Structures are given as C-alpha cells and as structure tokens.
Structure 1
Amino acid sequence: MKANIQYLDLFAGAGGLSEGFKRTGNYRPIAHIEMNKHACDTLKSRLAYYYLQENNRTEFYYDYLRNNISRDKLWKAIPQNILESVLNTELSENNLEEVFEKVDKLVADSETKTIDLVIGGPPCQAYSIMGRSVSSNGMKDDPRNYLYKLYVKFISYYSPKVFIFENVPGLLTAGNGLILSDIIESFKNIGYNLEYKILDSANFGVLQNRKRVIIIGWKKGLNFSYPKFKDVYNSNITVNSILEDLAAVPINSTNNTYIKEPNEYLVRSGIRDDNSPLTWHTVRYTNSNDRKIYREVIERWNTYGERLKYDMLPESLITHQNKKSFLDRFKVLGANLPTSHTMIAHIAKDGHYFIHPDIKQCRSISVREAARIQSFPDNYFFEGPRTSAFTQIGNAVPPLMAYYIADKLKEFFTKED
C-alpha cells in the first residue's frame, strides 16, 4: 500500500504526531499548520529529509546535519510546494477563510484531491492541571480554551473520514467538564461519532510515562470503532538505553559524538541510524549552587533510590522562599527505571526537573537526550535556538506512540480502499 492516505495536521508543533504517520509510509501530509516560526522551520527541514530519502539522496540531508551545506541550500533542493505546505500562522476566526483557501489549493494539487484524515490538538496549557494551578483564575479567561472550536470548523469544512484530537488529561476536567461536553456535542452536530481514551506513551514502546487523551472521531455510518492497541513491551530495557551511547558533555557545551554502537532498543525504536550524524547533544549552563543541588539529588537517588525534596536540602543551598509546593522541582532521571517521568515544555526554562544521573557530569539533560525521551530519531533536527528546541520537544507527541496509532489506523483505510 503506497502513501495515499492524505492528512492535515493542525497545531502541528514540531511534528511529533505527524512523524509517526509519515514513518509508516502510508500517509501523505497535505499541510501542517503551526503558529511558531521555529517549529515551522523544523517541519520544513523534516519534509526535506523525507523527500530526499524517497529520492535516494539522504546523504545530502546528512551533509546539512554536518554543517557542510546551509539550510537555504537544503531547502532549495526540494520542490517549493513541499515547503509551502507548512503554513506559519496563528489560527483564528479572522483568518480562517484565508487558511482554507491556501489548504484548498494544496488539496487541488494533490494526488487524490481529498483529505482523508485530520490530526492534531490545540495548545494544552489552558487544559493542563499544572497550567491551571499557576494561573490566578485557573485559566478561565485563556482564549486557548476555545481553540477546539477552530478544529471543529476544519472537520466540518474538509469532512475527513477520521480525525484524531490529542490533548492532556486535564481536558477531561477543564471547566468542570463543560469543555469536553461541548467538544463531544460539537463533533456530533457535524456528523461524527467519537470516543476518547487516556493512553500512556509507555504502552507504545516510549521510555516515558506520558498520559494523553486521544479522541478519535469518525463519520457517522462508517464501519469504524476505536482501535484496540496492543502494548509494546520493552523487556529488560531501562532509561539508560537512551543515554549510554552518548558522550559526556560539560555544562554550556556540545559533544556530538557516539561512544558506543547502538543498542537493541535504539535500533528497534528507530531512534538511532548509524549513517546519521548526531546533533543537538548540547547542554545548558548551570550555576554553581544548582550544581551542588544536582549532586545532592543524584547521590540520594543513586545510593538510596529516593527522591530528594526541596525542603530536605541543606539550608545553605535553599534559595527559594516557597518550601511548601513544587518540592520535586529538582528531579533526576532514573537510569535504572523502565520509563522516565513526563517530559514537559518547562524544560525550556531550566533543566532542574531532568537531571542526568551521572554524578561525574552533574548537569541537566541535553537537547538530544530530551528528544530521545520523547522517542524522536537522532536524525530529527530542531530548528531555532536551544530554548526553542527544548520547547518544541516538550510540547510534542512522542513519534513512536504516533507511529503505532497510525499503523493501527491504516487497517481501516486499507479496508475502505
């Protein structure tokens, strides 16, 4: 089956969800719509990778990763309509008709001239429990609460057979459940059945506990039901599997060197391709006081398997007045555990919640290590500065989770064909 299932990706971010669908080889993106400029550049470079791979020119992409050619030269090597399919815009009621017009043109120029599937999810900060906890009014007035209404309008306009709406579990309780009720009712009113479940990326082979609400909707009358996903077990695999082949890195520096051959997990998950150069194994600066805290946290975990709370630190290291909440703000990766704790976008601000377990390095994780926790392949390049790369990674859907969802979903489209 060739890549003839055409999809539209809304609120695409850096493309984690889309990456899973592309990787199956059965899906073709019509357009990605995203407001962040750096994320859009990431999407363009990833589309360049797939175009070059399909034309047996992957080495040209790897030359870009090695800094042998410029991004401008990379992008000029692929058809411009591919780059133009990434729409850098903030969706709103004011520009919806203009966006429809651009997507319509892309659909008209496509092979099957249809959109079979819509994927994506509105920004989740307004639905997250953490986001509400730090907001003075629980984010009740946040306009992002209602971006789902734009998603509904896309479904109504393009009438895909199926859609996938992804978000945080906090969506279920946002607005005392009224937002979820309105989402369900809105889709039903335009002719779609839907079902939702909380799925954990750890059950899809990702070395991370990351629970997400996955709403799947389908046109009324279709012979479709919510897929049953089989758990992907990682027997005897630990978080160390995504750390052990990467070089030690001093703070505020980069070391894009593999020090070991890829292990079985890295190969099976698609994270490491031996032909690809390593990028973004870059570590931020950490001040001396925080490094002393890191040492305390790492030592407690590695020696006793215990998490050190902030109020348990020596008084000389405590600088925050708040010693009653967010006491786990310094957290080390459990290298011996089967999964990491949930990757969050806050990593763009500091790395305290993701400390490397090697006490000799005494640092927070690199951009590439964060990407691996999210199951991004090493040849996935994040455009923009380091802070933006961390944000893109923290907000993403793990590609490996998306891959298994896409792989299962293709069974329905195969039957339809």
Structure 2
Amino acid sequence: MGEQLSVVSLFSGAGGLDLAVERADAEPLASGDFGNGLLRVSVATDYNEPALQTLKANFHDASTLAGDIRAVPTEDILTKAGLRSTEPVLVIGGPPCTPFSKSGFWLEQKRESRDPNASLLDEYVRVVREAQPEAFILENVQGLTYKTHKAQFERLLRGLGELGYNPQWKVLLAADYGVPQLRRRVFVVGRRDGEKFEFPEPTHSGWSEHTRTVDASKTPHVTAGQAFEGLPLMTQASDDEIVDGTYGELAAEIPPGQNYLWHTERYGGRNHFEWRSRYWTFLLRLDPNRPSTTLQAQPGPWVGPFHWENVRTGSGQERARRLRVNEMIRLMSFPDDFKIGGSRANVQRQLGNAVPPELGKAVVRALMTQLGYLNPVSPSHVVAFG
C-alpha cells in the first residue's frame, strides 16, 4: 500500500460517505474486501455526540472534531487533520438535510426555505474555499433541487463555481448502484482544475417509483428479500419493534408492498381510510421482491416501511413489526460488522441520515478514476449479502 491520500469529512454523521471514501477501490462491502486504502479520512466533524461515537468506533485512524461548523475555523479542521491548505485530496460531506427534506414541509419556514440551517451550505463552500482540496463531493436530499430551494441551491453552485471548481450535480437512485433501497440523493462534485466531472453510469436496473422500464443489460435491483438473506431468525419481537395501538390491527392486515390504501374502498381491506388521504409511507409494508422505499431518519409511529412478516404479541395477537438494526444496516449497504450504538430510534436516525456506502463508492470511484488515482477498470458491482 502506497501513501494514503487525505480526506476532510464535514457533517460526517454515521460515516456512510467516509466509508465509501476509505473503501472506494474495494469490492462491495459485504464481501469483506477493504480495498488498498487509497484514501484515508484524516478528520471527521459533526456536532452530534452519538454520531461522533459511531465515527470513533468505526474509523480508528481518523481524528474527530466536535462542534457547530459555523463556529469552527477551517484552520482548526486542517490542523486536526495534520494538513495545510491545498493538501486534502477531497473535502466530502452532506450538510444536514432537514431544511430541504419533504418530511419537514408541514413547517411553513421549510416550505418557504427560511430554515436557518440552510446556511450550512455556505459553510461547506467556506471550507472548500479555504482548504482548497483537489476536489469535493457534497451530498444531500433530492429536495435541495426543488423549486422551493432554488435560491439556496443556485447560491451553492455559484459559490463553488466562483472558486473554479466547475460544480456538476445529479440526482442518483441508490438502487441503480446496488443498494437495496429506492433512495434518491443529489450529489454535487467539482474539481480544482476546473475539468468537468462525469457521473458514473448505473450498474443496476429495475422498477422505481417513476418508471417501469428495465435495462436488461444491467444487473437487476437488489431486493429487500435478497438483502436480508442470511440474517439470524428471531421469532420474538421486542416491544419497540411491534406496531401496535390505534392502527396496529389494520397494519397487520396489509399485504407486502401495500400501504394504508389497502384499507380504502378501492382495495381488498377494510374501508377505513379516504383515498390518498395520507402520505405513501403510512402503514407501508416492505415487498421482499423489490428494493425498500427510503429508510426515514425520524419516522412517526405509523410510518414504514415495516417488515412484510407479522409477529405475535405476548397475548397472541398478530402485528406488523418495525425493521431491526441489522436489517436497516443491510438496506443501507453498510457492512454487517459496522458498529452503531444507542436506542433503536437513535440508530435509525443515524442510518436514515447517512449516505448508502455503495452509492457513495460509485461516485468516489468515478471521481478518483477521472483524477487519475484509480485505473478505469472498476470491480464488480454485484452486491452479495450474507
């Protein structure tokens, strides 16, 4: 292994993009291939203590820096990494996506794009300007590209463009890159030399929310059923996994792949709800033959996806169940041995906010190839779980 190239990670969270960086030249994570260690995260930053604990547990060689990025000088970040300006090969990170997520649109300030956290995009530009990396990768929710946030998104692109990085952006579907999840994220990538970055071509194909067109020349999407293969069987569900209460009985009657619409006059369940009166994820059950829908960071008590199989309560009643930690890890394409602690809800919050590593790897690998650090011959992208 030659000299490792240093990476500065901002808004690191659970470290999905960090993991993608450190294993950019590796086979899929489940294979146990760690790659040649071309890239190393020198410093990872976040303000969330559980996220920092996750980073420390999984990235032993990376320094961590806690604090609000708005109060942390770029010089402090570089010093913590043992770097000077122009030395990082990459700056990576996903500013907190809450201001741009559809899940926050019931708040007027979010609908009108007045969330103060949106300024974190400007902090990302500030660090790129002062650290002068060879390239950068910024990731966020698809909602950042919506008309509602046009001013913030254009300011981000303009700020990065004025630095000479020629930023390119694209919304990518995680399932198209071997992740068993229909999760859309926007990536913004730029190079210090101003050369245009070309996004990687999809390696997988299948049905999504918007198309039934399938490219037979590509590997089929990885399904939730395939993702869960080999996981230990657990017949007894913990209390926090059981979907009970007001809609517990209704949820248990919904077939795999269906949601609350099953209980409307147009489907085979009870005529309990009005047609299209709820969000799509309300009482949603996974379909084992398709990728999962987006794993949300902070779902309400009736928001899926829930597992397609029911469990029994202590009194013998059938109920749907929430996903277990090892299942969420699989749906996010993290390795099985990834360490993430805390309550089930805290684990889901970290994973739901993370970049699926296999999706991140596709972008990182493409960038490092175009920069000349990797050979253009890429490894197999077929993800095997277990």
> TM range, normalised to the smaller chain?
0.7 to 0.9
Match of residue 165 from structure 1: 138
**Runs of at least 5 residues in structure 1 that lack an aligned partner in the other structure:** 52-81, 254-282
Letter in 1 for 2:121: Y
> What secondary structure is seen at the aligned counterpart in 2 of 1:32?
strand
> What secondary structure is seen at the aligned counterpart in 2 of 1:406?
helix
Answering whether residue 65 of structure 2 is matched by residue 87 of structure 1, we say yes
Letter in 2 for 1:14: A
**Pair 1:249–1:162, CA change in 2 (3 A):** farther
Which residue among 304, 307, 310 is the counterpart of 1:359? 310
Answering whether residue 18 of structure 2 is matched by residue 6 of structure 1, we say no
> What is the CA deviation profile of residues 251-283 of structure 1, one whole-angstrom value per residue up to 9, with x for unaligned ones?
326xxxxxxxxxxxxxxxxxxxxxxxxxxxxx6
Report the count of equivalent residues: 337
> What secondary structure is seen at the aligned counterpart in 2 of 1:12?
coil
Deviation, 1:114, is 1.7
Query: Whole-Å Cα distance in 2 between the matches of residues 307 and 12 of structure 1?
Result: 33
Query: Whole-Å Cα distance in 2 between the matches of residues 285 and 356 of structure 1?
Result: 10
Answering whether residue 306 of structure 2 is matched by residue 294 of structure 1, we say no
Query: Whole-Å Cα distance in 2 between the matches of residues 148 and 86 of structure 1?
Result: 20
The question of whether the paired residues in 1 share the 8 Å contact of 2:13 and 2:48 is answered with: yes
Letter in 2 for 1:399: P
Deviation, 1:170, is 1.3
**Pair 1:364–1:189, CA change in 2 (3 A):** same
Deviation, 1:187, is 1.1
> What is the CA deviation profile of residues 190-210 of structure 1, one whole-angstrom value per residue up to 9, with x for unaligned ones?
222111111111111001111
Which residue among 342, 350, 367 is the counterpart of 2:294? 342
Which residue among 144, 153, 162 is the counterpart of 2:117? 144
> What is the CA deviation profile of residues 215-250 of structure 1, one whole-angstrom value per residue up to 9, with x for unaligned ones?
10112x454532433424444853211223231342
The question of whether the paired residues in 1 share the 8 Å contact of 2:173 and 2:185 is answered with: yes
> What secondary structure is seen at the aligned counterpart in 2 of 1:248?
coil
Match of residue 392 from structure 1: 350
The question of whether the paired residues in 2 share the 8 Å contact of 1:163 and 1:217 is answered with: yes
Which is further off, 228-237 or 328-337? 228-237
Query: Whole-Å Cα distance in 2 between the matches of residues 245 and 107 of structure 1?
Result: 39
The question of whether the paired residues in 2 share the 8 Å contact of 1:251 and 1:286 is answered with: no
Deviation, 1:324, is 2.5
Which residue among 240, 250, 254 is the counterpart of 2:236? 250
The question of whether the paired residues in 2 share the 8 Å contact of 1:107 and 1:115 is answered with: no
> What secondary structure is seen at the aligned counterpart in 1 of 2:340?
coil
**Pair 1:119–1:328, CA change in 2 (3 A):** closer
Deviation, 1:330, is 0.5
Which residue among 319, 342, 360 is the counterpart of 1:402? 360
> What secondary structure is seen at the aligned counterpart in 2 of 1:28?
strand
Which residue among 39, 45, 53 is the counterpart of 1:41? 53
Query: Whole-Å Cα distance in 2 between the matches of residues 365 and 231 of structure 1?
Result: 27
Which residue among 48, 57, 76 is the counterpart of 1:102? 76
The question of whether the paired residues in 2 share the 8 Å contact of 1:291 and 1:363 is answered with: no
Match of residue 330 from structure 2: 372
Query: Whole-Å Cα distance in 2 between the matches of residues 222 and 342 of structure 1?
Result: 34
The question of whether the paired residues in 2 share the 8 Å contact of 1:125 and 1:131 is answered with: yes
Query: Whole-Å Cα distance in 2 between the matches of residues 32 and 120 of structure 1?
Result: 9
The question of whether the paired residues in 1 share the 8 Å contact of 2:180 and 2:221 is answered with: no
The question of whether the paired residues in 2 share the 8 Å contact of 1:5 and 1:413 is answered with: no
Deviation, 1:179, is 1.4
> What secondary structure is seen at the aligned counterpart in 2 of 1:126?
helix
Match of residue 128 from structure 2: 155
Letter in 1 for 2:72: L
Letter in 2 for 1:4: Q
Deviation, 1:327, is 5.7
Deviation, 1:328, is 4.2
**Pair 1:187–1:327, CA change in 2 (3 A):** closer
The question of whether the paired residues in 1 share the 8 Å contact of 2:140 and 2:187 is answered with: yes
The question of whether the paired residues in 2 share the 8 Å contact of 1:310 and 1:323 is answered with: no
Letter in 2 for 1:86: T
> What is the CA deviation profile of residues 40-63 of structure 1, one whole-angstrom value per residue up to 9, with x for unaligned ones?
000000013xx6xxxxxxxxxxxx
Letter in 2 for 1:96: V
Answering whether residue 213 of structure 2 is matched by residue 228 of structure 1, we say no
Query: Whole-Å Cα distance in 1 between the matches of residues 194 and 108 of structure 2?
Result: 44
More helix by share: 1
**Pair 1:202–1:328, CA change in 2 (3 A):** closer
Answering whether residue 278 of structure 2 is matched by residue 325 of structure 1, we say yes
Query: Whole-Å Cα distance in 2 between the matches of residues 327 and 163 of structure 1?
Result: 34
Letter in 2 for 1:11: F
The question of whether the paired residues in 1 share the 8 Å contact of 2:92 and 2:136 is answered with: yes
Task: For 1:167-316, list aligned pairs within 5 A.
Answer: 167-175=140-148, 177-219=150-192, 221-232=193-204, 233-235=218-220, 237-246=222-231, 247-252=233-238, 284-298=241-255, 301=256, 306-309=258-261, 312=264, 314=270
Letter in 2 for 1:358: E
Query: Whole-Å Cα distance in 2 between the matches of residues 32 and 191 of structure 1?
Result: 25
Which residue among 109, 126, 133 is the counterpart of 2:99? 126
Query: Whole-Å Cα distance in 2 between the matches of residues 323 and 210 of structure 1?
Result: 22
> What secondary structure is seen at the aligned counterpart in 2 of 1:18?
helix
> What secondary structure is seen at the aligned counterpart in 2 of 1:86?
strand
Q: Percent identity?
A: 25
Deviation, 1:286, is 3.5
Deviation, 1:408, is 2.2
Answering whether residue 46 of structure 2 is matched by residue 30 of structure 1, we say no
**TM-score, with structure 2 as normaliser:** 0.78
Query: Whole-Å Cα distance in 2 between the matches of residues 19 and 230 of structure 1?
Result: 20
Query: Whole-Å Cα distance in 1 between the matches of residues 158 and 276 of structure 2?
Result: 43
> What is the CA deviation profile of residues 112-141 of structure 1, one whole-angstrom value per residue up to 9, with x for unaligned ones?
992110111211111123322x11342533
> What secondary structure is seen at the aligned counterpart in 2 of 1:13?
coil
**TM-score, with structure 1 as normaliser:** 0.73
> What secondary structure is seen at the aligned counterpart in 1 of 2:69?
coil
The question of whether the paired residues in 1 share the 8 Å contact of 2:112 and 2:148 is answered with: no
**Runs of at least 5 residues in structure 2 that lack an aligned partner in the other structure:** 25-36, 205-217, 313-319, 376-386
**Pair 1:156–1:190, CA change in 2 (3 A):** same
> What secondary structure is seen at the aligned counterpart in 2 of 1:193?
coil
**Pair 1:161–1:370, CA change in 2 (3 A):** same
